[in-house]
Structures are given as structure tokens and as C-alpha cells.
Amino acid sequence: MKIIYTEDYKSMSRTAANIISAQVILKPTSVLGLATGSSPLGTYSQLIDWYKKGDLDFSQCYAVNLDEYCGLTKTNEQSYAYFMYENLFKHINIDMARTNIPDGTNPDADAECARYDKLIEDLGGIDIQLLGIGHNGHIGFNEPSDSFKKGTNCVHLTRSTIEANTRFFEREEDVPTKAYTMGIKSIMGAKKVLLIANGAAKADIICRMATGDIEPECPASVLQLHNDVTIVCDKEALSVLAQKAPEMITNLPR
């Protein structure tokens, strides 16, 4: 696990965008595993800037997103499909036919999860998976649980996740209670994993993820077992780890 310190959100975003750019340049046909939430917004905006300057070409890339709320159509402004279109896809030259996200409107959970797993397999797996992290250690929507879920699965969101996501909805009762999410096996199957986190509210969970037991109660802790994980955080998100295990941070300023 390589942990990189950055000063602030802007610098975290730039570093993450640099890592994704390198992937796209080195392998133009990359399968990019993408994430939603507030953490990746700056990364996407930096990638868009570099695309507009002519430094990046996404025309041969594929995208697979981590998760989607159950019950929301792609045109619903709160859906992750809409988020991805508005915040990244419509600004770059990715072929929309090569972008993928679980279909939240499919009521047949088993069929939808099987379809998504097969799609990832048929693409040859994910080259780089971008992740945020929930305050409770969730990745994608893999919530704390008593076992790691392997493939794409339909999850009941925890109260804390629903509360955290209420900020994106007008009323808490509008937040969907279920979601389809890639499973831990698909995430761990990515050739590279890039996790980003910013802000003091993520400091405890970043420390637990990196130093705690590997347990399904903290889903992100499983990343300790992956052989190519880069964690890029701002100063605040590293504040607890910097106290507890400073040697884990590659470039902690002295």
C-alpha cells in the first residue's frame, strides 16, 4: 500500500488525475473503474482540463462504474449514471457505448448482478479502479457486514450512509435505501487500485483501513491484501495515520 500525502483537495485531485492519465497514455484501451461522490469531482475536473488541452484521449477507453442506486433511472439527477455524464463523460471524448454502470431500474437483482460481473469479465477486468471511502469504511457500496461480498450485489444501505448521502437529495426520505454495487472480488481483481480521501472526517477511517484488522466490518481494510494500491489523501485525511504510523506515508513532510 503506497500512501501519498498532498497538501489539499486540489493537490490530491491533481495527483490522482496524473495517475489516471499515466494509465490512459500507457494503455489507450484501458478499462477505467470509476467512482462517484464528492471526492473524485476534482480529479474529473482536472482530467477534463487536460483533455481539453489535447493531452489526453479517451476515445479507446472503457469505463465501468462501481455502483448505482436501485430504482433511479439514468436521467434522474440523483442517479450515478447522471452524475458521471454531467461530471465527466459529456466533457471528454469517451464513447458512451463503452461506459457501463449497473442498471438501477432492473428489478431482477440476480440477473443485473450476474450481467455486470460478466460484463467486467468480458472486458478482461479493470485496469485501474478509482475509489472513494465512506466514513464507515465502505468502498463502492460494500457496507460493513459480517462477510465480504464477492461479486456485484444488491445492498441495503446503512443508516449512516443514507444520512451521509442526504446532502445530495432534497429530503432524507428521497435517498434510495438499496443499491447495486461491484463486489469486493471485482474491486480486488483490478490491476491497480487508486483510493482518494480528503478532509478530517475521513482521518479515522483512513487510519483504520491502513493499520487495522482486515475485516468485513471495515470493507476498505481488504485493500491491504492488494499488491498495487495507491492511496492519495490530503493532509487532514492523513492526520490520524500521521500520528499512529508516519512511516507508512511515502512523503510525509518533516
Residues annotated as catalytic are: 67, 136, 138, 143
Binding of residue 36 to ligand GLP (CB under 6 A): yes
CB of 52 to ligand GLP, least distance (A): 24
User: Quick one: 13 or 36, whose CB is closer to ligand GLP?
Assistant: 36
User: Quick one: 25 or 74, whose CB is closer to ligand GLP?
Assistant: 74
User: Quick one: 135 or 150, whose CB is closer to ligand GLP?
Assistant: 135
CB of 101 to ligand GLP, least distance (A): 12
CB of 203 to ligand GLP, least distance (A): 13
Binders of ligand GLP among residues 50 to 79 (CB under 6 A) are 66-67
Binding of residue 81 to ligand GLP (CB under 6 A): no
User: In the set 35, 56, 72, 233, which binds ligand GLP (CB under 6 A)?
Assistant: 35
Q: Got the DSSP string for 40-85?
A: THHHHHHHHHHHHTTS---TT-EEEESEEETT--TTSTTSHHHHHH
Q: Got the DSSP string for 97-146?
A: GGEE---TT-S-HHHHHHHHHHHHHHTTS-SEEEE---TTS-BTTB-S-S
What is the rounded CA–CA span in Å between residue 169 and residue 178?
15
- What does the block give as the cell for 175? 435517498
Binding of residue 38 to ligand GLP (CB under 6 A): yes
Q: How far is CA 152 from CA 68, 73, 118, 158, in A?
A: 11, 19, 10, 17
Angle between helix 80-87 and helix 41-52 axes, rounded to 10 deg: 40
User: Quick one: 1 or 35, whose CB is closer to ligand GLP?
Assistant: 35
Beta-strand ranges (E) seen in 157-243 are: 178-181, 192-197, 229-234
Binders of ligand GLP among residues 141 to 200 (CB under 6 A) are 141, 161, 165
CB of 139 to ligand GLP, least distance (A): 7
Which residues of this chain interact with ligand GLP, rule CB under 6 A?
A: 35-39, 66-67, 132-134, 140-141, 161, 165
